[in-house]
Amino acid sequence: MKLAFFFPGQGSQTVGMGNVWYETHASVRQRFATADRILKEEFGFKKTLSALCFNGPDEILQETRVCQPALFMLGYAVAEHLKNSEMFKSHTIVCATGLSLGLLTALAVADVWDFEAALRVVATRGRLMQEACELQSTGMTALIGGTAEAIEQLCKEFDLDVCNRNCPGQTVVGGVCENLKAMQAVAKERGFKLAVPLKVAGAYHSRWMQPAREKFEVFLKDIPFSAPALPVVSDTTGEILTAPDVIRSELGRQLTSTVQFEQCLRKCAAFGFDIGLECGSGNVIAGLAKRTDATLKIQSMAEPKDLEVLKN
């Protein structure tokens, strides 16, 4: 069976995430323990990542500096367990990708970095993005329905950026919170079914992340990169990432560029995978895939019981 790995991004975190995996698999517990140590010693976490994932509080787990390493750690640990399991020997991984932060998880699973190096990259990314969010009150809104022309007009009129093109009929825009509220007030009049404010700290993948991008690019200059051991599809270009220098450049550019996840999903579909495995918390990517191409089958691996799909 041909499989593809998918890794979720910020917004899919929930209190209790990974708890069953932790309780039932020693390899997952080991990754949690390593993350707890590194984040406490090097990034000043007062509570362990394990405690925050399992017990919250939700407002702390939602912080950019916390939820990014949390989602990375869980996604990596689940994918690692799958790759090493006996049932996986009869399957082939044909590609991997991720939504925003999830792209870094995909790169780590493809051996661009080892777990500890990748965790440091992710934790630094999360810290810098949170710092950028604190410079100005910005946010994001999901627009459901509407035309590309209507979205372009709203962005021009209210000084917003297109942050995500997630799937047909779902686009996320970002900008100053005051402008987003004004836009939401007229969205239905402009042909949109819904305009839903997202629970995020700022306008990710927009010009407002430029301060984070500049610092992150400086940080990445000294980080060793290896070529991916399997095809990894960029979530902003829909192209396969191969050369280490290209990946390094892409990770900086990603912070201020529109996520083209519909395009990314279609590129992955071209690999002809039988089942996609969404490793981590929730089933956001499975939902986006269903709206993009009804033939795409993506299964959440939020809990060990979800492994049953690989036994059929």
Residues 259-270 have pLDDT tens digits of 999 999 999 999
Higher pLDDT residue, 90 or 190? 190
Say what the pLDDT of residue 107 is.
98
Q: Specify the residue for token string 């810098």.
A: 128
Say what the pLDDT of residue 95 is.
97
**What whole-number distance in Å separates Cα of residue 250 and Cα of residue 41?**
29
Q: Parallel, antiparallel, or unpaired: how do β-strands 138-145 and 298-300 relate?
A: unpaired
Say what the pLDDT of residue 54 is.
97
Q: For residue 4, what pLDDT band results from cuts at 50, 70 and 90?
A: very high
Instruction: Tell me the CB-side half-sphere exposure of residue 266, using CA atoms within 13 A.
Output: 13
Burial classification of residue 189, based on how many CB atoms lie within 10 Å of its CB (0-12 exposed, 13-18 middle, 19 or more buried): exposed
Say what the pLDDT of residue 85 is.
86
Element (H, E) at 285: helix 284-292
Region at 173 (left for phi over 0; alpha for psi -120 to 50; beta for the rest):
beta
pLDDT higher than 70, residue 303: yes
Catalytic residue (choose from 12, 50, 100, 234):
100
pLDDT higher than 90, residue 161: yes
Q: Tell me the helix, strand and coil percentages in the chain, rounded to 5.
A: 55, 15, 30
Region at 279 (left for phi over 0; alpha for psi -120 to 50; beta for the rest):
beta
Structure tokens at 122: 């992710």
Say what the pLDDT of residue 28 is.
96
Say what the pLDDT of residue 312 is.
59
Q: Which of 95, 101, 115, 84 is nearest to 277 (CA)?
A: 95
pLDDT higher than 90, residue 310: no
Q: For residue 214, what pLDDT band results from cuts at 50, 70 and 90?
A: very high
Instruction: Tell me the CB-side half-sphere exposure of residue 279, using CA atoms within 13 A.
Output: 28
User: What residues contact residue 87 under an 8 Å CB cut-off, 6+ apart?
Assistant: 307, 310, 311
Say what the pLDDT of residue 164 is.
97
Q: Give yes or no for a contact between 2 and 8, defined as CB atoms under 8 angstroms apart.
A: no
Q: For residue 64, what pLDDT band results from cuts at 50, 70 and 90?
A: very high
Does the annotation count 205 as an active-site position?
A: yes
Instruction: Please give the radius of gyration of the chain, using alpha carbons only, rounded to the nearest integer.
Output: 19
Say what the pLDDT of residue 271 is.
97
Residues 40-49 have pLDDT tens digits of 999 999 999 9
Structure tokens at 214: 């500049």
DSSP per residue, 28-63: HHHHHHHHHHHHHHHH--SS-HHHHHHH--HHHHTS
Say what the pLDDT of residue 163 is.
98
Structure tokens at 295: 């033939």
**What whole-number distance in Å separates Cα of residue 158 and Cα of residue 178?**
9
Report the chain's mean pLDDT, rounded to a whole number: 95
Q: Which domains does the chain have, with CATH numbers?
A: 2-134+206-310 (3.40.366.10), 138-197 (3.30.70.250)
Residues 289-302 have pLDDT tens digits of 999 999 999 999 99
> Region 67-76: what's the mean pLDDT?
97
Say what the pLDDT of residue 307 is.
82
Say what the pLDDT of residue 128 is.
98
**What whole-number distance in Å separates Cα of residue 133 and Cα of residue 128?**
9
Catalytic residue (choose from 12, 50, 81, 205):
205
Q: Which of 259, 257, 258, 261 is nearest to 289 (CA)?
A: 261
Identify the weakest region by mean pLDDT among 66-70, 72-76, 85-89, 277-281.
Answer: 85-89
DSSP per residue, 217-268: HHHHTTS-----SS-EE-TTT-PEE-SHHHHHHHHHHHTTS-EEHHHHHHHH
